[in-house]
Structure 1
């Protein structure tokens, strides 16, 4: 089952990563502004947010089987609709349906892997990054279309036949504490970093003068870096504390943002930003596991807030770029980076 979960997460990563490079292509095809086309990211993560929140509110009986089945069906339906040459705004509806299934699957897989240990959380998120690296390259070749139909078939074949949440030893009662709120704020701000960069990388590269297909293909560099960061950094920094890893990664991200502001170094800058940002999400999950009870409901809360950030912050960045410049991405992402840094400092004091 673990191997199948890794494959499933790789395919989920491929789908999410294809949305950013699709924005300029959809904008050209439907004659939309980039910010309007970027609403597919908001619609997708809006669906994710709803399903993650609902999954956390379900009773144990409904969360340990039906949630998995319903999530599969919704995601496959969304993929099938998205594969069709639909006129705007129907692609927005299709991607929102896919998001409903996606959010449930992310909640289930992360919870199941967390029960296996922190190493598996890093591993599964690393394979997510590897799958995501293939998405932009495939978009540059196929321009979407049948790619999503093929992805739906591959996902259907790869899905585990059975997946259940780990049973809770006692009835779960969620306590909202200042520490939990800080962790939620941390993942909300981080969404502006990861999803902001991945959603608008192709637009930023096009503004630097790269051809549309080249810009879409180069988006894979960020996801390759993200996978490398999640698979390698935990090994290299095995003796480091969570605070040390996060502070180092965030400061490196702040430095890396200067590279994507220059046309020549932008592709390498996005790769390095992926490496630096890679360990932030898994390390935060590990820190949560060591600090708070880690049942499904806590996972659902922090992931729901992360999805809220994914649904809102990229759109705000898109409209900010539209109002200023397509080259302003580093400035908007820097807000999320320094927000995360401030929250890590507050968490360090709160969890002593």
Structure 2
């Protein structure tokens, strides 16, 4: 039966695909943040240094990089919902492997699988929403998609704290996370199957387009992810080094993502009025001040999670600027810039861990200020390069 001749049936199928994408993004946010909650226990049990801990966090983003870049080519042959179904299975598999990991090598494999799953979910869920939502509701649906990622990220530290308080074993975090994720995977696959598949139509100009302005915006995404991954990956461990209990440190990680999620909604009130570029520059400047205060003065540690509120609009606003520069963002361009962001996620936590091993974690986290300054510098260069005598 041709669903195009039955608009009500088409709406039901679109709603099913949207629900599957929302749950997939919850898994993405939940599994992505989980690594930061267990890092202190992993370091304590295995006696690995901060550099290895940072590399483990970064290896998840290496998987994310591979997943997003791979999606550029796989989506040519596969349908987005079908690939999204495979992505959530891979993420669930990564959590399962982590729960059984007997050595650090297996942990790296598990982190890579979680990263691949997250990268594929990021692209395919966005594509699923783009192809299933009505054009007049696309913006709302994409914001709702981001909300589910934020919800997963908020729940993750609370979930980990609960499991640790009951069992005191970090592998149990991943075991029960895998069970929860498996339930969601079954529901997602059922929704995809019931909704039916839609072939992703190739765009006429489906090629990678980069100019100097767009390249600079890629740099903004890179340094944004060094900040987000650096904060989310090391906040709990740093909180413990300055005397906070594990539960309080995990609460601050949840607070970071609570504010990040809230900021995604509230930033819509001022981003367009202030201007996309000015909004990014202003938010990075505030982030620099908050991170500097939270790292320099241990009594003001709460300033670090507060930076989440101002980080919220940067990624989507930068993607919007890329769209404005290019006229549109096709599959290849979208996948490429998500991959660039993934590289930032690898670089940030790893560099912090390397510096922490040689000096201290507080010194390592001082790199967050360097990353923010780099982002501010690139934003200023973008203003110069893209200026055409009009407000940007």
Question: By the TM > 0.5 criterion, same fold?
Answer: yes
Equivalent in 145, 148, 151 of residue 124 of structure 1: 145
Deviation string, structure 1 residues 223-278 (Cα, Å, up to 9, x no partner)? 11111111221134442211121111111101111332223321x31331000111
Quote how far apart the aligned CAs of 1:280 are: 0.6
8 Å Cα contact 1:24/1:203 also seen in 2: yes
Aligned counterpart for 1:220 among listed residues 222, 236, 254: 254
1:295 is matched with which residue?
330
Shift of 1:66: 5.3
The residue aligned with 2:11 is none
1:150 aligns with 2:179: yes
Judged with a 3 Å threshold, the aligned counterparts in structure 2 of structure 1 residues 171 and 250 are, in CA distance, closer, same or farther, namely closer
1:18 pairs with 21, 24, 34, which one?
Answer: 34
What is the rounded CA distance, in whole Å, between the counterparts of 1:121 and 1:289 in structure 2?
15
Change over 3 Å in CA distance of 1:286–1:310 after alignment to 2: same
127-136 or 191-200: bigger deviation: 127-136
Matches within 5 A, 1:117-266: 117-142=138-163, 143=170, 144-159=173-188, 160-161=191-192, 166-261=200-295, 262-266=297-301
For 2:27 and 2:117, the matched residues in 1 are separated by 13
Q: Deviations over 1:39-61 (max 9, x none)?
A: 32122111111121111134623
Q: Output the aligned Cα RMSD.
A: 2.2
What per-residue deviation string (whole Å, max 9, x for no partner) do you get for residues 169-202 of structure 1? 4151223322232122111111111111111111
Unmatched segments (≥5 aa) in structure 2: 1-16, 164-169
Q: SS of the counterpart of 1:89?
A: helix
Please give the alpha-carbon distance, in whole angstroms, between the structure 1 residues aligned to 2:103 and 2:365: 32
Q: Is the 1:68–1:163 contact (alpha carbons within 8 Å) kept by the matching residues of 2?
A: no
How far apart, CA to CA, are the structure 1 residues paired with 2:354 and 2:316? Answer: 29
In the aligned structure 2, how far is the partner of 1:257 from the partner of 1:64?
A: 38
- Return the index of the structure with the highest Cα Rg: 2
Match of 2:7 in 1: none
User: Which residue pairs with 1:28 in the alignment?
Assistant: 44
Structure 2 CA distance for partners of 1:250 and 1:13, relative to 1, 3 Å: same
- Matched residue count: 351
Q: What CA distance in whole angstroms lies between the structure 1 residues aligned with 2:128 and 2:381?
A: 29
TM-score, L = length of structure 1: 0.91
Question: How far did residue 69 of structure 1 move?
Answer: 4.2
Counting only pairs closer than 5 Å after superposition, residues 260-279 of structure 1 correspond to structure 2 as 260-261=294-295, 262-266=297-301, 268-279=302-313
What stretches of structure 1 of length at least 5 have no aligned partner? Answer: none
Counterpart Cα distance in 1 of 2:26 and 2:85? 19
Partners in 2 of 1:245 and 1:118 — Cα distance?
Answer: 19
CA contact (8 A) 2:80 2:127 kept: no
Cα 1:125–1:153, aligned 2, differ >3 Å: closer, same or farther? Answer: same
| Mean Cα deviation higher: 96-105 or 66-75 | 66-75
Which residue in 1 is equivalent to 2:374? 339
| TM-score normalised to structure 2 length | 0.82
Does structure 1 residue 106 correspond to structure 2 residue 106? no
Where is the helix percentage greater, Structure 1 or Structure 2? 2
Query: Could you tell me how far apart the structure 2 residues matched to 1:87 and 1:290 are?
Result: 47
What's the CA shift for 1:131? 1.4
The equivalent position to 2:345 in structure 1, one of 310, 315, 319, is: 310
Tell whether 2:39 aligns with 1:39: no
CA contact (8 A) 1:24 1:212 kept: no
Q: Verify the 8 A CA contact 1:191 1:313 in the aligned structure 2.
A: yes
The answer (yes or no) to whether the contact 1:208–1:327 under 8 Å persists in 2 is: no
SS across alignment from 1:350: helix
Per-residue CA distance 1:261-313 (angstroms, 9 max, x = gap): 223321x3133100011111111111112221311111011001111111122
